[in-house]
Chains A and B, each alone.
Chain A
Amino acid sequence: MRMIGCVSPPTAGELSIFGLDPVADGPAIRARLGVVPQEDTLDVELTVRENLLVYGRYFGLSRAVIRERSARLLEFVQLADRAGDRVEPLSGGMKRRLTIARSLINDPDMLLLDEPTTGLDPQARHVVWDRLFRLKQQGVTLVLTTHYMDEAEQLCDRLVVMDRGRIAAEGSPRELIDRYSTPEVLELRFDPAVHENAAEKLASIPAQRREVLADRVLLYVPDGDATLGAVRSLGLEPLTSLVRRSTLEDVFLRLTGRRLED
């Protein structure tokens, strides 16, 4: 991400952005990029509007252009009423939205977003998603990293699953789910006393994949309800059962494993 943003020299291989070389043409490339870093880099001592002014000046924009765009962008990220306030007391979600507004001040051809909604409450996340989706509709290319699979599912046309610095899979969210998972997942929770016993018995149920976790058994199947019927006909009665569609999270966990990674 930092290499695409031309603030980290490529360590190996070739990298070309807008057909330019990031090492030689960093300033020219960055003039056409918008960047939303993982950590906010706002000047918290300045006001919301001053942050946009200072940043717009970095791109050599005139005060008049910045004033016009700031008004529009603050409206867009729903911060217009806070324009004159200092940044420091703003909530995390507001700072995030201001960072997004700031990244758009130069009317970028491409927007780089590094975990744009990490640490936000659900309301704030949905506002950010909504704004990012609108940008996408307006034709801005978004490149984003995220640990939230629902975020990837909402926003991405094309996604790459990275595992320890390597590409584990690539495609649209739909394609990846089709390729690496089943249409449905049946989640079964048994009484802890019979959990292991039940899990063993389930081995006779046809499923593309089964996962026995400490508290649940997951069966990856084409038709969850039919499978649940089969489970019951074995004489097993789960405490709770849930039939759901496969998600990117299933794909991600399948590809990268359930172990904790640093």
Chain B
Amino acid sequence: MTAQAPAATAPAAWPFAVRQLRFWLTDYRRTWRGSIISTVLNPLLYLGAMGLGLGTLVDKHGTAHLGGVSYLVFLAPGLLAASAMGTAVGESTYPVYGSVKWNKTYQAAVSAPLRPADLFHGHLLFVALKLTMTCSVFLAVAALFGALTSPLAIAALPVAVLTGLAFTAPIEAWTVTRSRDTSLAVVYRFGVIPLFLFSGTFFPVTQLPVWIRPVAYLTPLWHGVALCRALCLGTATLPGALLHVGYLIAVLAAGIWAGNRSYTRRLYV
């Protein structure tokens, strides 16, 4: 085995995280067909059922609470952010858990030159790519429904991706520490579903009781929904946008910090 292809183990030009990104891309090649179908179907179903179906009833009742736009136009940017959250949480629970506990591909990767943090960052890169793809498809479908009214809507794409990443980083930091997969269901039951329903996606947070509104304002999803909506409706202001983006970046940064530590603790034992 020796004396062939010299210098093959010399440091490569690509950073280590990109090596892990390539792993996930290889992995994705197996499932991309099914993934594309659900990526297109998801916005079609939700915008069709809620935006058009339910929206017809809502619009008859008057649209003042929605800022004077149809329910479909109100809903689409909220769903964009919420579906980014859904994709992000899906990617940062079972695939990560499986890499540590089932296939143990993470353990294999740290036997190669990669460090635990490289695995974490590589997966974040992959999730960022996947979010970019799913959110782009979502925006395209929303445009076909006539749900986008401002050219600023294109700026909602990076905001939705950022919203997803603000979930991925902290959840992944936590997932990698889990020793039983039943814990992961808790994320959905007590995290994803309440956020999905109560963070302003389907109705303005101002419809919530006053005492609980601050909780909604603390969730990353509300910031994502609020900014995506402001951009799609063309009502965004610079200070507001900076506040939302700043909050999401802060959550993402905290998640990266926590993940760097938890990945290292879990894989260097």
Interface residues of A (CB under 8 A from B): 2, 5, 7-9, 26-28, 30-33, 35, 37, 39-46, 50, 53-55, 57-61, 65, 68-69, 73, 102, 104, 106-108, 135, 138-140
B237 within 8 A of A: no
Please tell me if the beta carbons of A41 and B108 are within 8 angstroms of each other in the complex: yes
Main secondary structure of the interface of B (DSSP, over half): loop
Among candidates B8, B107, B113, B267, residue contacting A107 with C-beta atoms closer than 8 Å: B8
Interface residues of B (CB under 8 A from A): 1-2, 4-5, 8-14, 16, 19-20, 22-23, 26-27, 30, 103-105, 107-115, 267-269
Closest to B10 in A: A60
Return chain A residues, CB-CB under 8 Å to B103: 41-45
Shortest CB distance A55–B (Å): 7
Please tell me if the beta carbons of B112 and A59 are within 8 angstroms of each other in the complex: yes
Among candidates A9, A32, A73, residue contacting B9 with C-beta atoms closer than 8 Å: A32
Answer whether A8 and B269 are a contact pair too, CB < 8 Å, given A45-B103, A46-B26, A65-B8. Answer: yes
Q: How far is B23's CA from A139's CA once the two chains are assembled, in angstroms?
A: 31
Q: How far is B112's CA from A146's CA once the two chains are assembled, in angstroms?
A: 22
Shortest CB distance B239–A (Å): 44
Please tell me if the beta carbons of B16 and A30 are within 8 angstroms of each other in the complex: no
- What are 23 residue pairs bridging A and B, where the CB atoms are less than 8 Å apart in the complex? A8-B269, A28-B113, A30-B112, A31-B11, A35-B111, A37-B107, A41-B103, A41-B105, A43-B108, A45-B103, A50-B26, A54-B22, A55-B112, A57-B22, A57-B23, A57-B26, A58-B109, A59-B12, A60-B9, A60-B12, A60-B113, A106-B9, A107-B9
Return chain A residues, CB-CB under 8 Å to B114: 27, 58
Number of A-B contacts (CB under 8 A): 109
Shortest CB distance B6–A (Å): 9
Closest to A68 in B: B5
Please tell me if the beta carbons of A8 and B2 are within 8 angstroms of each other in the complex: no
Q: How far is B11's CA from A140's CA once the two chains are assembled, in angstroms?
A: 22
Q: How far is B267's CA from A88's CA once the two chains are assembled, in angstroms?
A: 24
Q: How far is B26's CA from A40's CA once the two chains are assembled, in angstroms?
A: 20
Return chain A residues, CB-CB under 8 Å to B112: 30-31, 55, 58-59, 106
Closest to A104 in B: B1
Please tell me if the beta carbons of A59 and B16 are within 8 angstroms of each other in the complex: no
Closest to A7 in B: B110
Answer whether A46 and B1 are a contact pair too, CB < 8 Å, given A8-B268, A55-B112, A60-B14. Answer: no
Return chain A residues, CB-CB under 8 Å to B2: 107, 138-140
Please tell me if the beta carbons of A7 and B30 are within 8 angstroms of each other in the complex: no
B103, B108, B112 — which one has the most chain A CB atoms within 10 A of its CB?
Answer: B112
Shortest CB distance B90–A (Å): 17
